[in-house]
Chain A
Amino acid sequence: MAKITLLISIIMLTCIPNANSQVTPWQVSAEDAGKINSIPIELKNLGIGRNIFTRTCVACHGAKADGKGLIQSASLIDETFQKQSDGSIFFKINAGRDKMPPFKGMLKEDEIWSVINYLRVMVNRSALPPAKDVKLEVSTGDEIKSITAFVHSADSAKLPFPEVDVSFYIKREFGLMRIGESSNLTGADGKVKVVFPEKIIGDQEGNVTILAKVENSFIYNDAESEVFRKWGEQMVTEDEKFNQRALWGSRDKSPVWLLLLANGIIVGIWGVILYIIYNLFRIKKAGKIFIKE
Chain B
Amino acid sequence: MTDLHRKEIEIKKEQFQELVAELHSPLNRTGLSFKIWIGFLLLLMATAAFMYVRQLRYGLGTTDMRDIASWGLYIADFVFLIAVSLVGSLITAILKLSNIKWATPLTRISEIIAVAALFSALLIIVVDMGRPDRLWHIFVYGRLQSPIVWDILVVNTYLVISLLLLYIPLIPDIALLRKTMGHKPKWQQKMYKILSLGWQGTADQVKVLNLSLKALMVVIIPVALSIHTVTSWLFASTLRPGWDSTIFGPYFVAGAFMVGAATVIVTMYIIREAYHFKEYITDEHFNLMGKLLVLTSLVYLYFNLNEFMVPAYKMKSGESAHILGLLVGDYSLMFWSVQVIGMIAPIFLMAFKPFRKPKPMLVISVLIVIAAFLKRFLIVTPTLLHPFLPIQNYPESYHHYNPTFSEMMITVGSIAGIALVISIFTRLFPIIPVSETAHEKGFPNEIINNS
Contacts and interface: CB of A to CB of B under 8 A. Distances in A.
Interface string B384-407: 000000000110000000000000
Contacts of B168: 276, 280
Interface string A189-224: 000000000000000000000000000000000000
Interface in A225-278: 247-251, 254-255, 258-259, 262, 266, 269-270, 272-273, 275-277
Interface string B200-215: 1010110011011001
Contacts of B160: 273
Interface in B170-225: 171, 197-200, 202, 204-205, 208-209, 211-212, 215-216, 219, 222-223
Contacts of A259: 144
User: Which interface class (under 10, 10 to 19, 20 to 34, 35 or more) fits B?
Assistant: 20 to 34
Given A258-B144, A269-B223, A273-B164, A288 B211 contact: no
A283 B199 contact: yes
Contacts of B222: 269
A283 B205 contact: yes
B443 interface: no
A282 interface: yes
B101 interface: no
B145 A255 contact: yes
B153 interface: yes
Contact of A291 (B198, B204, B212): B198
A288 B216 CA distance: 25
Interface in B312-337: none
A284 B197 contact: yes
A282 B143 contact: no
A186 B329 CA distance: 57
Nearest to A265: B226
A283 B157 contact: no
Contacts of B141: 251
B245 to A, nearest CB: 19
A106 interface: no
Q: Sort chain A's interface into a size bin.
A: 20 to 34
Interface string A88-128: 00000000000000000000000000000000000000000
A269 B202 contact: no
B115 interface: no
10 contacts: A250-B143, A262-B150, A273-B157, A279-B208, A280-B168, A284-B197, A286-B202, A286-B208, A287-B197, A287-B205
Interface of A: 59, 70-71, 247-251, 254-255, 258-259, 262, 266, 269-270, 272-273, 275-277, 279-280, 282-284, 286-288, 290-291
Given A248-B145, A259-B144, A269-B222, 16 more contacts: A251-B141, A251-B142, A254-B144, A262-B153, A272-B216, A273-B164, A275-B215, A276-B164, A276-B212, A280-B197, A283-B209, A284-B197, A284-B198, A286-B200, A286-B204, A291-B198
9 smallest beta-carbon distances between A and B, as pairs: A287-B198, A70-B393, A284-B197, A286-B204, A279-B212, A290-B200, A254-B144, A276-B212, A272-B219
